[in-house]
Structure 1
Amino acid sequence: MSPTEKSTIEVAQPTSKDIVETLDIEPTLSAKEEAPKWPSVPTLSVDEVVSQAVKESNSAVKEPFQFKKPIRRAAVIGTGPAGVPTIKALHAQGIEVRAFDRNPKAGGIWAYSDAPSAKPKMPSTELAPKSKNVAPVVGIHEETVELTNEVEKSLLEQYPASACYKDLYTNTPIKITEYIDFPGDHSKTYMWHQEFQDYLSRYLTHFGLDSLIEYNTNVEHVYKAKDEEGSECWHLTLCKSERVEGNKIHVKRWTETFDAVAIATGIHQNPKIPAFEFLEEFDARWPEKCSHSKQYRIPEPFRDLNVLVVGGHTSAVDITRHLEGISKNVYLSYRGPREIESNILGLIRTGVPESTIIMPALTSLSNADGLVDGTVKFIDGQTLENIDRIVFCTGFTSDYSFLDDLIIEDHDEYVKLGHESVSVPATDGQTVFNSYRHLFFIPDPTLTFIGAPPNLTTVPFFDYQARAVARVWAGKALLPTQKNMFSYTKEYKPVCYPLSFGAEPELLRCEDLVVWLNSHAEALGHTDLPPVLNHNKWMDTVWAHAVPNFRNDSDAKLAEVKERVKLRMASA
């Protein structure tokens, strides 16, 4: 296949007319017009975003970062909403791609399994992975072992289930969730998790990418070293486990080398549970009472129980809605006021059932005297003595354990050491501080982090990130020098409030990447590349319908959830 043929996927990008026809909407914004104002006012205007992008783009053209060698072979870790478009974008640019996912199918967090992951440590606050001491693998090592309890436990640790629960559905309309070059089913508003997982699988098949992926494959270790020819490259130690005849597991371990690695595992991986006072002691005494939302699957086990849900964002609200009418009493505890600055999170909170009892912030798993007797205490001194279950919906961190000890988790330590002197990724568990445009690892841009921006965003944004990485690695877009990347990263102004969500925030976030890619395609003479379009310029009417109808649409979907639960309970 010629390089021209390999780039046909990108050449086939929809035009502005295609976008409008696919979404079945009227174009209301020209390329020069700004998006409508939304409740969360953006930090920058469209003109300021363009100006910032042009400044950095021109700098890169004048003084580009020089890769030590061409990038011909790349690994993608993860086949969720961020990994799927990354595979496609790299393949479209003629780069040989190998993708790895520890799940048996594509989907990432949307790949559901009935069995939840193992219960996390209580509390769980560590962000940095600890050394696994994974020895380099030379050649291919294969063995078939009996599926004993010990082996099964080990597999659960290596291949943990996602946080997807049985009645989970997308909470953004399909027109906002879909990739612009692969329309979804517009006859419905939201998708069940299995429908979205199927959408991602069909996307891979449609673009001929299935053969590039190894499923059931855990990436154990990612490190850089010289290959047999003395060239420095990335080494991935891989372990594939598959059930074979009878009660046996076939295990294969090997190492592959790559010029570049795209990490697209997302930010919803490791449960994060704050160190509430006496939590460890409480959990040791009543281990069956505490869990994290990652373990939640169905509401039935909470029937007729008093349940405390800790957290105030999406999963906490969703679980209280699912428990309504099932549990005896549902309490919801979160920090701060009910009204919050984020327009979308504030809207989500309006869905908390009237029967849910709102409590202030949880402070201690003890009584007022500090005794661990089953009582829980809140910041205002209130206590509850009759809690049967506690579900911590307190967030997640990324899982970069395959990077071994190549992580700094303390931002203050990172600043103290000096941005430019830190040669390993520094992260708070979500974004990587020393990454350019929240994508490229500045000390070595052959390593990227896709799908982990420090803000709310929609699935199509990951496609723009993927295109950026693919074009840079293919030499069709440029990065500034490392010095300038560090400088721009320190000076970077968020285009809008991180928790803003809507037409204008999405327009601004994507415009930053669109201006950069298009200006470089023109400057470098890549006339064969079609212009990257910011589809959000045609999305204001979609958002204008989605936001005011969110509550009604969400309640309608919840009614379907209730009916599903009712049928399950009747047949149990």
Structure 2
Amino acid sequence: MGDAQCTIAVVGLGVLGLVTVKNLLEEGFDVTGFDREPFVGGLWHYTEDDRTSVLPTATIINISKERGCFTDFPFPEDTPSHCTAGHVQQYLESYIEHFKLAPHLRLSTSVKRVSRDNVANKWVVDIDGAGSEYFDKVIIATGINSSPHVPKLEGVEAFEGKCLHSRAFKRPEQFKGQKVVVVGLGNTGADTSVSLVGQADKVYLSHNHGAIIMPRTVNGGIPIDHTLTSRMTKIQSLLEYYLPSVYEMVFNAALKKIQNANFKLKPEWKVYPAPSLKHAVPIISDNLVANLESGAVQSVAGIKRVVGPHELELDDGTRLEGIDTIIWATGYRTSFSVLDPEVDPTRHTTPRWAAAKGSRGKPLPRLYQNVISLDHPDSLAFMGCGAFATGAFPLNDVASMALAQVWKGASPLPPRGEMERAVDRQHEFVCGVAESGSAVPGWVRQHEWMAWANAAAGTGVDEYLGWTLAGWKFWYRDREFCRLLVDGIYTPHLFRVFETGKRKTWEGARTEIERVNRAVAAARAARDKKAKAKTV
């Protein structure tokens, strides 16, 4: 168990912070979580303030509840597979209650600065209006959606309409009767555009690249991510690591095939050719295409400049007149402004990254496995700086489990030089992506990152579901359950099944995995029966 006298401050109590507090408490550390808001959940809690938040009913999760939950806490059975943001907020509040986290959370508490006191060998957490507190370790879990990224627009000072970032977009009815330009063809741009339909007089979706557009469900209502198994994920991640060009070709083609089977796209929308999946995640939307088809949303080129008080010139020379509002759905920059500059992991951003067009001016932190500080690996870490094509809930659950075992001493870190070389290799990879197109600073190769995280956390997944002696023994003893884990619904509960002596298992993992697979199979059978009856 962790040293109960070892105090840890977790800054930020969104999804990243909550699961980190829980997993470190579980290992015996004395943990305190801080958030400036009077609520938990971060962006999943709706707020009218100019801060990043979902829309409580309009925002629908893109990853099904079966695959997007925490590893040891499923969503309620009666929650829809693709539920609303309101459901997610209730889920997070239930998570706090179930694991009794409330006494360890300090809300309405703004951390102004985190710095190092080398004499005391402590971290100093300066709290607005309440002085300083000292901790042995600190985790920054403020997330990647803290600082809006707004591109420079020529002539914007002459625009007399309203300009806002998508995080300030709260109520579509506030734009009733207006002509609105939404900039950015991504999930946020798609959701914002569609939510304006029926309120704004005209909705333009402005973009300078294409996108893959995917439905949430296929084959009569099956969540699209239910077709992704543990076996398929393993094959995908191995291809990405060892044969990246083959991986890129195969999975781009697979996504395009699903898109074309569900939507008929028109050339004038300019949504194809789409960038490779390594440069842009697919748009998950059930109604964007229908609104493009009806003309309720009009696809236009990127904005070149402002040419009048309410007039814009686009990259293709077209002019849009009478524009009332520009909404920038252009993402965020990760900010570590709470940290003393001496320990800011972005202070030495590699020149190659800064020069790459696809970096778009965003910082690139130097972190071991995109989690652990190289300056103070034994006491400073970050959540939310690593990403690949999976849900944020299970990814950061596993990441914080791994960190807990590292700081417990159960999973020692390699020597400093080896960690530096690992970061150099990661930066070479992500810089290569940025030089050929847009790049997410935290993008990692799934196979490499999960191998580290599974080993450090002690999930046992690679041993018991791999070509090892333990794997063969598990298959021989429990073939049906092994089949469910490998070829059934790829639920995050998989990471809590096996006892390894490291992270805590969840005694309900097997039961929940079996229940989810039964429920999904029954739902599929019912849909098939209904479809067959219609054809008779």
Deviation at 1:348, TM superposition (A): 3.9
Deviation at 1:507, TM superposition (A): 7.6
Deviation at 1:116, TM superposition (A): 2.3
**Once the two structures are superposed, what CA deviation does each residue of 1:112-165 show, in whole Å capped at 9, x if it has no partner?**
11x221xxxxxxxxxxxxxxxxxxxxxxxxxxxxxxxxxxxxxxxxxxx33323
Amino acid at match of 1:510: M
TM-score by length of 1: 0.62
2:253 maps to 1:362: no
The aligned counterpart of 1:393 is 329
Q: 2:143 aligns with which of 260, 266, 269?
A: 266
Deviation at 1:194, TM superposition (A): 2.4
- Residues 274-289 of structure 1 mapped to structure 2, 5 A cutoff: 274-279=151-156, 281-283=157-159, 286=160, 289=162
Q: 1:434 aligns with which of 352, 360, 366?
A: 366
Amino acid at match of 2:371: L
* 2:117 aligned counterpart, secondary structure: strand
**Paired residues of 2:179 and 2:322 also in contact (CA < 8 A):** yes
* 2:282 aligned counterpart, secondary structure: helix
Distance change in 2, residues 1:532/1:453 (3 Å): farther
Alignment partners' CA distance in 1, 2:304 and 2:505? 49
**Once the two structures are superposed, what CA deviation does each residue of 1:249-269 show, in whole Å capped at 9, x if it has no partner?**
xxx422111111111111111
Deviation at 1:270, TM superposition (A): 1.3
Q: Which runs of 5+ in 1 are unaligned?
A: 8-69, 118-160, 240-251, 367-371, 417-426, 550-572
TM-score by length of 2: 0.65
Amino acid at match of 1:467: M
Q: 1:176 aligns with which of 52, 55, 67?
A: 67
Alignment partners' CA distance in 1, 2:62 and 2:451? 24
The aligned counterpart of 2:502 is 529
**Paired residues of 1:85 and 1:462 also in contact (CA < 8 A):** yes
Alignment partners' CA distance in 1, 2:31 and 2:53? 27
Identity in percent: 25
Alignment partners' CA distance in 2, 1:428 and 1:256? 37
Distance change in 2, residues 1:404/1:527 (3 Å): closer
The aligned counterpart of 1:448 is 381
Distance change in 2, residues 1:335/1:415 (3 Å): closer
Deviation at 1:105, TM superposition (A): 1.4
**Once the two structures are superposed, what CA deviation does each residue of 1:518-553 show, in whole Å capped at 9, x if it has no partner?**
39999xxx96436879x9xx89x98xx89xx9xxxx
Q: 1:378 aligns with which of 314, 329, 346?
A: 314
Deviation at 1:90, TM superposition (A): 0.9
Q: 2:111 aligns with which of 208, 213, 219?
A: 219
Q: 1:463 aligns with which of 397, 400, 406?
A: 397
Bigger drift between 192-201 and 298-307 goes to: 192-201
Alignment partners' CA distance in 2, 1:508 and 1:185? 33
**Once the two structures are superposed, what CA deviation does each residue of 1:197-229 show, in whole Å capped at 9, x if it has no partner?**
121121122112110010001110010014xxx
Deviation at 1:506, TM superposition (A): 6.8
**Paired residues of 1:514 and 1:532 also in contact (CA < 8 A):** no
The aligned counterpart of 1:107 is 41
Deviation at 1:491, TM superposition (A): 2.0
* 1:182 aligned counterpart, secondary structure: coil
Distance change in 2, residues 1:322/1:175 (3 Å): same
2:141 maps to 1:236: no
**Paired residues of 1:430 and 1:453 also in contact (CA < 8 A):** no
The aligned counterpart of 1:116 is 49
Alignment partners' CA distance in 2, 1:332 and 1:80? 30
Cα RMSD after superposing both structures: 3.7
Alignment partners' CA distance in 1, 2:196 and 2:449? 36
Alignment partners' CA distance in 1, 2:410 and 2:505? 13
Deviation at 1:381, TM superposition (A): 1.2
Q: How many residue pairs get matched?
A: 392
Deviation at 1:289, TM superposition (A): 1.3
* 1:411 aligned counterpart, secondary structure: coil
**Paired residues of 1:75 and 1:98 also in contact (CA < 8 A):** yes
The aligned counterpart of 2:6 is 72
Distance change in 2, residues 1:336/1:428 (3 Å): closer
Q: Which has the higher contact order (CA 8 A, sep 6+)?
A: 1
**Once the two structures are superposed, what CA deviation does each residue of 1:484-512 show, in whole Å capped at 9, x if it has no partner?**
10111212386999999xxxx87875344
**Once the two structures are superposed, what CA deviation does each residue of 1:158-194 show, in whole Å capped at 9, x if it has no partner?**
xxx3332343232221112211211102331223222
**Paired residues of 1:431 and 1:453 also in contact (CA < 8 A):** no
**Paired residues of 1:409 and 1:429 also in contact (CA < 8 A):** no
Alignment partners' CA distance in 2, 1:518 and 1:104? 35
* 1:175 aligned counterpart, secondary structure: coil
